[in-house]
């Protein structure tokens, strides 16, 4: 039976047998789901190993630095596949997200060789890359001796490939021809609307399609629901307040954070259109946002949606995804919709957060570490995570076409596939890459707080922000 099971899985991986046939024949053979899945995984690894010497670094011990996240959990669940395919041993340190980047920064800035590869966000590589702490992965991806022929780098969504590549020049376009690939996209989130369907039905409203509609719908929900508030967005004094819904809507109006001319940056947050956008955003929070909005981070926005304290969020799609499961009160009630803030825009332009893998320049075994990274970002692992674990959103186009993954999502997360399919072509990082990113974006959030608290009018606040940002850019030698 073992031989037959193995042959059946191999035929499935070679696409000679359909998924339906696989299930049918496996049950005829008396194979359990777990056993079938084991055979399929084994066959996939063997198929992967066929054209490439995965055993080249056999016996090597790798150490990873990971953030406590469902993406890391999915990798750990499948790690034995990598170990048996390569003969390498992999250990890892997992730290909670609250302290994770402190740990990464301390390890890299002290030149520690303890960790070979680690999880990072693309924004962080704007610091790590120019500092010489991480490797340019283009050199690895393009080397056929180091990268397996089935890696299919082009399968990774183009917006994500570009967003993780930068030439190191302040204001330089992400993904330009001379850009260095600082990290490999692993899993990502884009920003759209997640909403509570029963609450929307109760009030008789449809998910908003643009920002003016969102302001109106949120106000009606707040008024008519008598308890829950209309819309959840982040508001803490942090760069993370700007990057999700806020910047996604902002870029949809064609607005940028900076203008770049002759290599010099200039603040662009105080244009007429930007002021109009800020006015709407501030009004929406004042009328229909959470009471303690200025303390709101990812966690509060999500928790409120899951607990039924808010009717919708304009934030990461995967935040809405997580809140539709587990022991959340509103489990099963959350639906999803694409959102183009600008009524004149043809499609959404969501800003993205990309959990990525980076290779430490201080690693003593970079090649072996790259073997791990290409496995962890391979189609095979991406498929495993997307089908069986919460490895959403996958970064590969082929995985988004996978029938089993789509069926799983479609069944339990209504509208999720559609919001992604509509938005993915425009999904990328809309910030300008520059070394003062965290400081200046945090200041932007601070100004937003003052506007919502009515300490400063929107118009005046943005002029003050732009003047302050320009001064800081000039002091740092980045502005004109």
Q: How far is the CB of 16 from other proteins (least distance, A)?
A: 32
Q: How far is the CB of 379 from other proteins (least distance, A)?
A: 22
Stretch that binds other proteins, among 23-31, 147-155, 305-313, 415-423 (CB under 8 A): 305-313
Sequence-distant (6+) residues with CB within 8 A of 20 are: none
By CB under 8 A, is residue 161 in contact with other proteins? Answer: no
Which of 102, 273, 404, 439 binds other proteins (CB under 8 A)? It is: 102
Q: How far is the CB of 77 from other proteins (least distance, A)?
A: 8
Residue with tokens 């999720």: 416
Q: How far is the CB of 9 from other proteins (least distance, A)?
A: 24
Nearer to other proteins (CB atom), residue 87 or residue 325: 325
> Footprint of other proteins on residues 386-445 (CB under 8 A)?
389-390
Stretch that binds other proteins, among 1-9, 30-38, 51-59, 297-305 (CB under 8 A): 297-305
How many residues are listed for the chain in this entry?
480
Which of 51, 53, 114, 178 binds other proteins (CB under 8 A)? It is: 114
Q: How far is CA 128 from CA 72, 105, 285, in A?
A: 21, 8, 35
By CB under 8 A, is residue 357 in contact with other proteins? Answer: no
By CB under 8 A, is residue 307 in contact with other proteins? Answer: yes
Q: Which of 162, 173, 228 is nearest to 198 (CA)?
A: 228
- List, as one string, the DSSP characters of 356-418: EEEEBTT-S-HHHHHHHHHHHTSHHHHHHHHHHS---SB-BHHHHT-HHHHHHHHHHSTTHHH
Q: How far is the CB of 93 from other proteins (least distance, A)?
A: 4
Nearer to other proteins (CB atom), residue 206 or residue 223: 223
By CB under 8 A, is residue 306 in contact with other proteins? Answer: yes
Sequence-distant (6+) residues with CB within 8 A of 230 are: 217, 218, 219, 220, 221, 222, 287, 288, 289, 310, 311, 312
Binding letters toward other proteins, positions 43-82, x by CB under 8 A:
-------------------------xxx--x---------
Nearer to other proteins (CB atom), residue 31 or residue 62: 62
By CB under 8 A, is residue 103 in contact with other proteins? Answer: yes
By CB under 8 A, is residue 167 in contact with other proteins? Answer: no
By CB under 8 A, is residue 463 in contact with other proteins? Answer: no
**In this structure, are residues 128 and 181 in contact, taking their beta carbons and an 8 Å threshold?**
no
By CB under 8 A, is residue 108 in contact with other proteins? Answer: no
> Footprint of other proteins on residues 322-341 (CB under 8 A)?
322-323, 325-329
Q: Which of 123, 109, 179, 160 is nearest to 362 (CA)?
A: 109
CB atoms within 10 A of CB 337: 23
By CB under 8 A, is residue 96 in contact with other proteins? Answer: yes
Nearer to other proteins (CB atom), residue 24 or residue 112: 112
d(CA 258, CA 477): 15
> Footprint of other proteins on residues 376-395 (CB under 8 A)?
389-390
Stretch that binds other proteins, among 29-37, 205-213, 316-324, 470-478 (CB under 8 A): 316-324
Nearer to other proteins (CB atom), residue 147 or residue 310: 310
d(CA 197, CA 201): 6
Which of 16, 89, 112, 398 binds other proteins (CB under 8 A)? It is: 112
First CA to last CA across the chain, in angstroms?
Answer: 73
**In this structure, are residues 194 and 305 in contact, taking their beta carbons and an 8 Å threshold?**
yes
d(CA 464, CA 460): 6
**What is the token pair recorded at 224?**
């008519």
d(CA 55, CA 123): 34
Residues that bind other proteins (CB under 8 A): 68-70, 73, 93-99, 102-103, 106, 109-112, 114, 227, 298-299, 302-303, 306-309, 318-319, 322-323, 325-329, 389-390
């Amino acid at each position: 039976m073992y031989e037959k099971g193995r042959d059946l899985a191999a035929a499935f991986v070679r696409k000679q047998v359909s998924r339906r046939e696989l299930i049918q024949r496996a049950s005829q053979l008396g194979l359990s789901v777990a056993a079938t899945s084991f055979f399929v995984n084994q066959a996939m690894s063997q198929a992967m190993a066929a054209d490439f010497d995965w055993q080249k670094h056999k016996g090597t011990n790798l150490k990873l630095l990971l953030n406590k996240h469902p993406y890391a959990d999915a990798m750990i669940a499948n790690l034995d596949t990598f170990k048996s395919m390569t003969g390498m041993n992999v250990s890892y340190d997992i730290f909670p997200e609250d302290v994770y980047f402190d740990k990464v920064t301390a390890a890299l800035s002290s030149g520690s060789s303890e960790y070979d590869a680690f999880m990072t966000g693309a924004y962080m590589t704007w610091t790590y890359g120019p500092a010489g702490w991480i490797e340019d992965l283009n050199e690895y991806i393009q080397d056929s001796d180091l990268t397996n022929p089935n890696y299919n780098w082009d399968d990774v969504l183009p917006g994500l490939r570009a967003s993780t590549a930068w030439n190191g020049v302040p204001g330089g376009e992400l993904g330009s021809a001379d850009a260095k690939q600082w990290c490999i996209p692993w899993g990502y989130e884009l920003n759209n609307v997640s909403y509570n369907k029963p609450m929307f039905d109760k009030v008789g409203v449809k998910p908003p399609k643009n920002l003016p509609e969102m302001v109106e719908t949120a106000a009606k929900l707040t008024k008519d629901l008598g308890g829950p508030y209309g819309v959840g967005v982040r508001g803490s004094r942090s760069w993370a307040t700007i990057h999700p819904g806020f910047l996604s809507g902002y870029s949809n109006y064609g607005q940028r954070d900076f203008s770049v001319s002759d290599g010099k940056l200039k603040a662009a947050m105080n244009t007429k259109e930007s002021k109009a956008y800020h006015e709407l955003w501030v009004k929406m929070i004042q009328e229909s946002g959470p009471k303690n909005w200025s303390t709101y981070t990812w966690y509060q926005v999500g928790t409120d949606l899951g607990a039924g304290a808010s009717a919708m969020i304009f934030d990461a799609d995967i935040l809405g995804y997580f809140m539709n499961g587990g022991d959340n009160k509103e489990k099963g009630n959350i639906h999803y919709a694409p959102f183009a803030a600008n009524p004149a825009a043809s499609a959404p332009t969501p800003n993205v957060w990309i959990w990525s893998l980076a290779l430490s320049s201080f690693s003593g075994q970079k090649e072996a570490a790259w073997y791990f990274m290409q496995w962890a970002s391979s189609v095979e692992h991406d498929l495993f995570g997307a089908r069986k674990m919460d490895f959403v959103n996958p970064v590969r186009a082929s995985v988004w076409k996978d029938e089993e993954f789509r069926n799983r999502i479609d069944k339990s997360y209504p509208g999720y596939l559609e919001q992604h399919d509509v938005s993915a072509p425009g999904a990328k990082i809309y910030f300008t890459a520059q070394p003062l990113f965290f400081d200046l974006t945090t200041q932007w959030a601070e100004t937003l707080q003052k506007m919502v608290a009515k300490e400063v009018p929107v118009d005046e606040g943005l002029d003050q922000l732009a003047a302050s940002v320009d001064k800081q850019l000039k002091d740092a030698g980045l502005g004109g």
